[in-house]
Structure 1
Amino acid sequence: MSDQQTLVRTLTSIDGRGYASYKQLGGRYTLGRFTLSVDKVQVDPYAPPSLMQISLRREDAELPADLLDDRLGRIAVSDFLTRAFADALSEGSSERSGAAAGISIGRPGQQVLERTSVVITEELITARLSVALPAAGRRALGRKAARLLTETLPRIAQAALLHSSLDPEALRSHVSLLRDQEDLRTQLEAAKLVSFLADGSMLPRRAGDSDLPLGADAVVFRSPEALRRSFTLASGRRVTGMGVPEGVTVIVGGGYHGKSTLLRAIERGVYPHIAGDGREWVITTSSAASIRAEDGRSAAGVDISAFISGLPSGVNTRSFSSSNASGSTSQATNLIEAVESGATALLIDEDTSATNFMIRDDRMRQLIPADREPITPFVDRVRALFTERGVSTVLVAGGSGAFFEVADQVIALEDYTLRDVTAQAHQIAADHKRTTSQPVTPDAAGSASDGPGQRRFTSLPARVPRRDSLHPAKKTKPARSRGPRMIQYGREDIDLTAVAQLVDPAQTEALAKALDRLAEQSDAEHDITALVGRLVHRLDTEGLDWLSPHRGHPGHLARPRPQEIHAALNRYRGLTVH
């Protein structure tokens, strides 16, 4: 290990020389109480930034031991330190700020995720950074780099990693909040709830493309009395709000009254949120999956026969493959893949659904008999998903009452205020049934056209990836993210635009690396569920660093759920299965 003077001399000696001279920096350096590790040096000023780590002994950081004695505490402290580091980088004049100088730790959003940005072990606290080493054209500015690495960086690390530099109460509250949120999430299953939304929450966002809270103009959430629940949490805190029960829940109301906002909050509730977000007490079962139509996506051997069969083209829908799925076949594919991924709840908005997949009204059923229609609509299968697989559904419906009869509860929004209208909706459904000349009554096992006791979702065929499909000949480089919702895998681009619960670019980068690890593990014997399960187990036991094929700084990664790992693999157009 070298000392600070050696680093300064090296950088001073290369001042004004070619940018490739920075390669001499690789190694470790003592900077007072900190250690700087230069793991990867960028080869060109226009290449991705250098990867560096700055660490100090855990005892020197003096972080309270009780905040770090469990996994959730370490995740929360890591998140807090990452945010503190990002804030310290942006503070000060443009000349003194680390951000202006090209240092980045990544900036977390509204969610608290397991990350590689700050790692806490028994011995060390380590911050992982990307550093754009200064240049003038293609010449190294070594003296400026020396000030950056030996003055600016240690100053920022001291402000962000030492307990004495932090707000101790804010840190403790951050840890307590995450522990309480996850305690509440574990209580959902015993309470037979899909989601919980606390009274006082503020669900609206600033804009459709923003995850930031609307602010003072937002209507405060208030639960309807019939669905109100209370929970006591690990810290002794008590929260009261609306419990969304397991089964089939339909959310109705006029346009722009808050239906989609409510569903979006439930959708993002699979992740814990920071204090002040407004949705920090919107907690959803962690495996809930958002489902939509996705015209043009690919599919590889998916059994969508529960919804689509007897196609005029003769396509086998028990092993459906397509390079350009339609609205209905893509939504059926998304749904079955979500169930395959272990989802216990489906979140669906009719605005992003294929109408012919969701419903078929009585008049259309009379004109086109069931034996002439290859699509069995979701309304005829939603009960079977719950009774056979235990998969609940939360559905926004603004234009059709077709789901009233199969709903366990119906919630209406008017001016962002909720009412339980289940009894009224069931009465409307019963009246409609009596006045319809040819009523169709879906039963608990599926549609009216199914035979008695026929089961559709008890088991799904295993899909085993062909090993050669995950190792295409033209793939010579590791998979990589290209923006927040795109992965380059060989010469194929995997489009994740429709994967609505992907919330952070660092998750996309982790998914790219996960695909490479899945390819390494594929053996023509284990199916997709088993492969992803093994990968998740490695992440649980070895951490996110395991995804990287290189030792040292793995890049800025955030942990995706199993559902997003399945989604990325399933959208790879080169995938073929046995």
Structure 2
Amino acid sequence: MKTSDDLKALLQRIDHKGYPTYKDTRGSYRFDGYVLNIDHVQGDPFASPSKLSAVIPGSTAGFPSSLFDLPHKRIALQDHLTRLFAKKLESFNFKAKGSGKSGLISVSRCGQEILSRTALSMDPSSGNLSVHFEVGFPARGRTIAAFELIKILFDFLPECVRSSFYYNRLNKRVIKEVADLSEDQQYIREQLPKLGLCAFVADGSILPRESGVSSRPMKQAVAFHSPDSLKVTLNLPHHGPLTGMGVPKGITLIVGGGYHGKSTLLKALELGVYNHIKNDGREYVITDDTAVKLRAEDGRSIKNTDISLFINNLPNGKDTSSFSTEDASGSTSQAANVVESMEAGTSLFLIDEDTSATNFMIRDELMQRVVHRDLEPITPFIERVQGLYEDHGISSIIVAGSSGAYFQVADHILQMDRYVPKEITAFAKEEAKAFPLVTLPEKMPENPSFCRIIQSNRSFTKNGRNKLKTLGKDAFQINKETVDLRYTEQLCDAEQTTALAYALLYAQLHLIDGRKDLRQIVEELMRIIETKGLAAILDCGYVKSNLAEPRKQEVFAAFNRYRKL
């Protein structure tokens, strides 16, 4: 392996040469305390920045194994160190001068959620750290500014590495708090099924966010306080006793006036499938990690999906046990979303009346009398919600602001009053007696079919010429075909979207053989990610795009929304 002196000498030799000469620097170099890898060099100062990585031996980093011996603690520690590194790099960003992206130095930007990322990984057996980041190699016009890059690699970067990844230079109390919080969050997740709960919201949580474009907690917001009837106290390993609202399995209805916090509570539960950092306000909002937010999704494609649980006897005679369309309506899209979520293994549906198709959610008694059931192909969700729980073990948390029909089928009813929840189950049930009962079916129909065999798409090639592009958090393009994920609302980071694009490409090239069904393919894909790491789906020798791990439910969602599958 070459040394840092070799790299410095090389850079001095190529100073003022044409920019492509920078490619001679690719390779590995031993610095004091770590190995620097120059994995990919940009071809132009205005192109995407160069990809670098640093490997710090566990003996040098010095983190006690007790901080990373379990997956949830390791992910929390990786997340914390990535944040420290990003903050340190920011202080040196563009301090080296030049044209284009010269002097840029960056790593993944972490949000409020704690995610497993390729930006930084820690080997669970050795404690070795591997961090991947980007550097804009400096140029004057289109000639090499080698001494500016020397400044980055020999002055800025060593300081960033030492102050971010050396345990003896970090605040040990803060590091322990990160590990302790991850253990407490994991403990709550493990307790949910044992206590018959699908979610937990701690007293004192701050659920409102700063703004529509900021996920930070709102200042001076009303703190959450559990109603006495749903109050649960958990004795956490580090925090000790923690009291909050336990949402029981079954059907829970959230009602209340506009702007009283119904959707805010549901949004916190949606993102409660992820752990959150300290002081986020939602660090003790923990939801069943298989939960799926359901909504109408007009215009999406549906491929060979059995939606007969909800839709039958269409006027055009179309088969709903293997339904396909390129332009779904609100009701058919929401029906497909329910069945696809069942296929993905969810145990909890999260539904907001505001983003649902009305005719999918409810047909009141008057409408049933005027338009006879035989003339309506849609069986609304209200007629299936109890059977979904009793026969499939799938709970539902539903926000309703205008229709009281769900009072009759709900097990628990919460009213949000100025962001404070009150249980009104008995009162609402009593009031509902004065209104006609919605006609419910005597039993659930047969289980939907999930045996959807996936065929390979011939437009994919194994020569590396497949084009992938991430369009923010909401979509990605793969060989010019856009996969729209804007209504997959539990995606919280654009790096998750990038990972979904690579996961789809990897499956097309390696897993889809015309014999496996979708569930088998996704399960195999998730097994590869779990055993080999997220970078295994990149199909190259370096991390060319930083990725964040998506849940299995979002992997299913991406496959189901790819129109050419």
TM-score surpassing 0.5?
yes
Equivalent residues, number: 559
Q: Secondary structure, in 3 states, of the residue corresponding to 1:431?
A: coil
Whichever residue aligns with residue 108 of structure 1, its letter is C
Q: CA deviation at 1:104?
A: 1.1
Q: Which runs of 5 or more residues in structure 2 are unaligned?
A: none
Residue of structure 2 equivalent to 1:436: none
Check if 1:155 corresponds to 2:159: yes
Distance change (3 Å), C-alpha of 1:469 and 1:322: farther
Residue of structure 1 equivalent to 2:342: 339
Q: CA deviation at 1:513?
A: 1.1
Contact 1:89 1:103 in 2 (8 A): yes
Q: Secondary structure, in 3 states, of the residue corresponding to 1:211?
A: strand
Q: CA deviation at 1:15?
A: 2.1
**Structure-1 separation of matches of 2:350 and 2:162:** 44
Q: CA deviation at 1:242?
A: 0.3
The answer to which of 204-213 and 134-143 deviates more is 134-143
**Structure-1 separation of matches of 2:195 and 2:156:** 51
**Structure-2 separation of matches of 1:100 and 1:393:** 51
Q: CA deviation at 1:94?
A: 6.0
Q: Secondary structure, in 3 states, of the residue corresponding to 1:101?
A: coil
Q: Which runs of 5 or more residues in structure 1 are unaligned?
A: 434-438
1:365-404 equivalent positions in 2, closer than 5 A: 365-404=368-407
Q: Secondary structure, in 3 states, of the residue corresponding to 2:316?
A: coil
Residue of structure 2 equivalent to 1:562: 552
**Structure-2 separation of matches of 1:401 and 1:469:** 50
Distance change (3 Å), C-alpha of 1:414 and 1:113: same
Q: Secondary structure, in 3 states, of the residue corresponding to 1:187?
A: helix
Q: Secondary structure, in 3 states, of the residue corresponding to 2:246?
A: strand
Check if 1:300 corresponds to 2:303: yes
The answer to which of 44-53 and 384-393 deviates more is 44-53
Residue of structure 1 equivalent to 2:542: 552
**Structure-2 separation of matches of 1:168 and 1:368:** 68
**Structure-2 separation of matches of 1:328 and 1:459:** 17
Q: CA deviation at 1:454?
A: 4.5
Residue of structure 2 equivalent to 1:46: 46
- Report the TM-score when normalising by structure 1: 0.93
Check if 1:431 corresponds to 2:420: no
Q: CA deviation at 1:152?
A: 0.8
Contact 1:75 1:114 in 2 (8 A): yes
1:405-554 equivalent positions in 2, closer than 5 A: 405-433=408-436, 439-442=437-440, 447=441, 452-456=442-446, 458-468=447-457, 471=460, 476-519=465-508, 520-554=510-544
Q: CA deviation at 1:472?
A: 8.0
Contact 2:306 2:448 in 1 (8 A): no
What per-residue deviation string (whole Å, max 9, x for no partner) do you get for residues 243-302 of structure 1? 111111110000000000000000000000000000000000100000111111111011
1:272-291 equivalent positions in 2, closer than 5 A: 272-291=275-294
Whichever residue aligns with residue 445 of structure 2, its letter is R
Q: Secondary structure, in 3 states, of the residue corresponding to 1:379?
A: helix
- Report the TM-score when normalising by structure 2: 0.95
Residue of structure 2 equivalent to 1:59: 59
Contact 1:116 1:554 in 2 (8 A): no
Q: CA deviation at 1:469?
A: 6.4
Whichever residue aligns with residue 153 of structure 2, its letter is L
Check if 1:170 corresponds to 2:158: no
**Structure-1 separation of matches of 2:46 and 2:320:** 48
**Structure-2 separation of matches of 1:504 and 1:512:** 13
The answer to which of 365-374 and 228-237 deviates more is 228-237
Percent sequence identity over matched residues?
40
Q: Secondary structure, in 3 states, of the residue corresponding to 1:339?
A: helix
1:120 to 97, 103, 122: 122
Q: CA deviation at 1:478?
A: 4.9
Contact 2:460 2:466 in 1 (8 A): no
**Structure-2 separation of matches of 1:224 and 1:472:** 57
**Structure-1 separation of matches of 2:460 and 2:28:** 36
Contact 1:474 1:490 in 2 (8 A): no
Residue of structure 2 equivalent to 1:201: 205
Contact 2:353 2:399 in 1 (8 A): yes
Distance change (3 Å), C-alpha of 1:56 and 1:79: same
**Structure-1 separation of matches of 2:461 and 2:26:** 33
Q: CA deviation at 1:368?
A: 0.5
Whichever residue aligns with residue 308 of structure 2, its letter is S
Check if 1:361 corresponds to 2:359: no
2:183 to 179, 184, 193: 179
Q: CA deviation at 1:159?
A: 1.0
The answer to which of 270-279 and 44-53 deviates more is 44-53
The answer to which of 355-364 and 393-402 deviates more is 355-364
Q: Secondary structure, in 3 states, of the residue corresponding to 2:51?
A: strand
Contact 1:486 1:497 in 2 (8 A): yes
Contact 2:50 2:135 in 1 (8 A): yes
Whichever residue aligns with residue 424 of structure 1, its letter is F
